[in-house]
Amino acid sequence: MSKRTKLIAAFDTNSRSQAEEWSVTLGKTVDAIKLGLEFTYACGLDAVRAVSTGHQLFLDLKLHDIPNTVASGLSALAPLRPALTTIHACGGAEMIARSREALEKACPDEAHRPRLLAVTVLTSMDEAGLHETGVNATPQEQVLRLGKLAISAGADGLVCSAHEIALLRDALGDKPVLVVPGIRPAGSASNDQKRIMTPTQAAQAGADWIVVGRPITRAPDPALAAQGIMAELASA
């Protein structure tokens, strides 16, 4: 890759004090932090603003509702100035287009507009899980279908498994931003993720950002763990 894959540390906690501790401990050893449903619902938007101060923010709330509701929700979140934020691609083209319009209106300065990411297939889902929901496709087929839909409707990029990076790059080129969760350094437990890769594998496949949670935040020394992953990405 001509550019380094960037590292997002996922703060999966409902404790503001814990998140603030991680924020200080990690400092500039990561490129961004992720705050999601658990933290935002438990602690509120003021806590999101406080914890993310000094960091680029990946606000991962995966909005999915009727187009007007999602657009209004993103307008309300825009003052937090996240670098990246998420909606579900399965909400459809109109929802995605309205979401992009809402962010452009809320942040007319393109350089500071949150990048809109569409979630394709959650990394906890495998083919059997998709079939349970009535989707008679493989994860790869569904990711490609939703990825094409989302980018054509105005999303800046996608959230996808590392195993679909090459597929999406072949179909969509280098422009879409690909953010990849389910990343586990070699030797780490997979926990509830099913479609995972190591940082080096994801970087070599073409990820723009990788998301790593417990291998950093639950490590005896989170900053040291993050530094190790950053070094791995730099040499990938």
Catalytic residue set: 62
> Which residue has tokens 């190790």?
228
d(C-alpha 236, C-alpha 226), whole Å? 15
Angle among Cα 100, 76, 48 to the nearest 5 degrees reads 110
Query: Strand locations in 78-156, DSSP E?
Result: 84-88, 115-119
At how many degrees (to 10) do helices 45-52 and 16-26 cross? 20
> Which residue has tokens 């939703």?
146
DSSP state of 236: -
d(C-alpha 166, C-alpha 236), whole Å? 16
**Residue (of 173, 206, 213) closest to 58 by Cα position:** 213
* 19-52: burial string, b at 16+ Cβ within 10 Å, e else: bbbbbeebeebbbbbbbbeebbeebeeebbeebb
